[in-house]
Structure 1
Amino acid sequence: MPAQYYAPKGGHPGQEQLLTDRAVFTDAYAVIPKGTMRDIVTSFLPFWTDTRLWVIARPMTGFAETFSQYIMEVAPGGGSDQPESDPNAQAVLFVVEGQASLSVNGQTHVMEPGGYAYLPPSSGWTLHNTSDDMLRFHWIRKAYQAVPGLDQPQVIVTNENDIAPTVMPGTDGKWATTRFVDPTDLRHDMHVTVVTFEPGAVIPFLETHVMEHGLYVLEGKAAYRLNQDWVEVEAGDYMWLRAFCPQACYAGGPGKFRYLLYKDVNRHMPLRLGGG
């Protein structure tokens, strides 16, 4: 069966709805449920036409500081010839609905659901929706940390359906990661992957590590341990974790539990406040 991806549609709940929801923001993590992604909380960007977005992560002092993440919604005919205003920003795009026409380095790529693109800084990319349907995709941005002696990464355009997932050792195939970048390629200072848990699979210990995370649930549901709390999450929910927030997962089923995962990697820790 082809992969399924949840994409928000906006709208507003009726006046008769209860206010109670699962949204929570703590000093260690945030959960942004799909039900909070309504019309009233969308944003707009310069030089993007017929486009709106949900900002689901941004650098915040004392929380997660390395990245921003948007869910972009581009109507037919919309898009941008000047999508990025920061010359030091690298990007990962991941399409969850519709079709994108991405142009970079003189080539045009048609990206469909599952489509992934890595775009290094100042790559001069453009993106348009040339189809008749709405386009929705994730746009993850991070300031690139250059290292003397290491070249900047090259453009990557692919689709997760064309990549064999890497099974986590000792999990009997129940936990796997689709990797778009070679983990040993130290030119990259961030990884965006798709993580898949089969029904009944677990992260069997509380991961506690320096990487910041953004986790957008593409499919299914699970119980996720965040710091001292267990929270239930489902397709369309977003989890945002600062460094060292303990985390684990139980995917109870009935289907697969899958999420898009961001983490910062492969660089020294700054030793001065505000250091890059």
Structure 2
Amino acid sequence: MSYPSDLLSSRAIIRPGKFALIPPQGLVDNVIPGFENCEISILASPKLGASFVDYKVTMHEGGKNTRGFGEEGVETFVYVIEGKIKAHTDDEAFTLTESGYLYCPPGKKMYLENMQSEDARLALYKQKYEPLDGYGEPWVVSGHANEIKGEIYQDMENVRLKDLLPTDVVFDMNFHILTFDPAGSHPFIETHVQEHGAFLLSGEGMYNLDNEWIPVKKDDYIWFGPYVLQACYGVGREPFSYVYSKDCNRDAKL
């Protein structure tokens, strides 16, 4: 850190209960017990209005989580934005490189460790699991998004969607990757009950958030609250892509 070289300013937009755009500049590190030699920032949380918690994690050389991430009644997910890590539960281990991910069901902790001298950058997530009587329980899922074929989205060949978790109803959430070629867009402005937390992986876009058109780009984070109007155009010279969470497969509660 040093003295500022210009006027203090930020692209961040925080609308509690509605949406948030959080660029990487200005993030403050949090001390989370169990994370060693890591920089970790809490992005979305119930204090913002979210029903889940999203973290941005940079694991330096030797960085790891020693206590385990997760707890009874809470499901967790990690996505590797950059680098190579070891991710394991008490009885399974996975090597995850860029685009690798691991989902752990409630009550099963995940342990994370950087496997290289360079930094590893992670998107980390947790939320309370909502059981569904009579349908069983979710299970550990791991994979690499780069090995999943993108499906044409809403009959538009310049927009592709990947599902990272099974569509089985025992899962009350999913993670997706949506990719827009330059000039690709949503087919309409969406309004829905689901929340999202999105880590922008590449490119640039113009995003409509609560009927405001806002420029966004790689390494930004967006939280979308329930019923917030949302849609985007991909702009620039490379595909605009992001990985995001979505709650699903449950009825609304009274």
CA RMSD of aligned residues (A): 1.6
Instruction: Give distance in 1, aligned partners of 2:104 and 2:54.
Output: 15
Alignment deviations for residues 53-98 of structure 1 (CA, whole Å, 9 cap, x no partner): 011111237x32x211001122222212322253211111100121
Task: Write the distance in 1 (CA, Å) between the matches of 2:106 and 2:22.
Answer: 29
1:204 paired with 2:187, answer yes
**Higher strand fraction (1 or 2):** 2
- The separation in 2 between residues aligned to 1:200 and 1:130, in whole angstroms, is 38
Shift of 1:187: 0.7
Secondary structure of the corresponding residue to residue 146 of structure 2: helix
- Spell out structure 1 runs of 4+ moving beyond 4 A: none
CA contact (8 A) 2:69 2:76 kept: no
| Alignment gaps of 5+ in structure 1 | 1-11, 272-276
1:118 and 2:103 aligned:
yes
**Partner amino acid, structure 1, of 2:5:** E
Distance 2:253 2:163 in 1: 27
Change (3 A) 1:14 1:236: farther
- Paired residue secondary structure (1:161): helix
Partner of 1:136: 121
- Output the TM-score relative to the length of structure 2: 0.94
Contact 2:70/2:109 (8 A) holds in 1: no
1:29 to 2:16 alignment:
no
SS of match in other structure, 1:127: strand
The counterpart of 1:169, out of the listed 154, 157, 163, is 154
Q: Normalized against structure 1, the TM-score is what?
A: 0.87
The 5 Å alignment of 1:250-269 reads 250-269=233-252
Q: How far does the alpha carbon of each residue in 1:146-191 deviate from its partner, in whole angstroms, 9 at most, with x for none?
A: 11112211111110111101111321x11111111233x1011111
Native 8 Å contact 1:32 1:56 kept in 2: yes
The answer to which of 101-110 and 67-76 deviates more is 101-110
- Offset, 1:110: 0.8
Conservation of the 8 A alpha-carbon contact between 1:198 and 1:253? no
The separation in 2 between residues aligned to 1:68 and 1:267, in whole angstroms, is: 19
CA offsets 1:6-45 (integer angstroms, 9 cap, x no match): xxxxxx47512222322111242111112223xxx10121
Q: How many residues align?
A: 253
User: 1:138 deviation in Å?
Assistant: 0.7
Task: Show the counterpart of 1:52.
Answer: 39
Deviations 1:197-230 (A, max 9, x none): 0000111311000001111211000100111210
In percent, how many aligned pairs have the same letter? Answer: 27
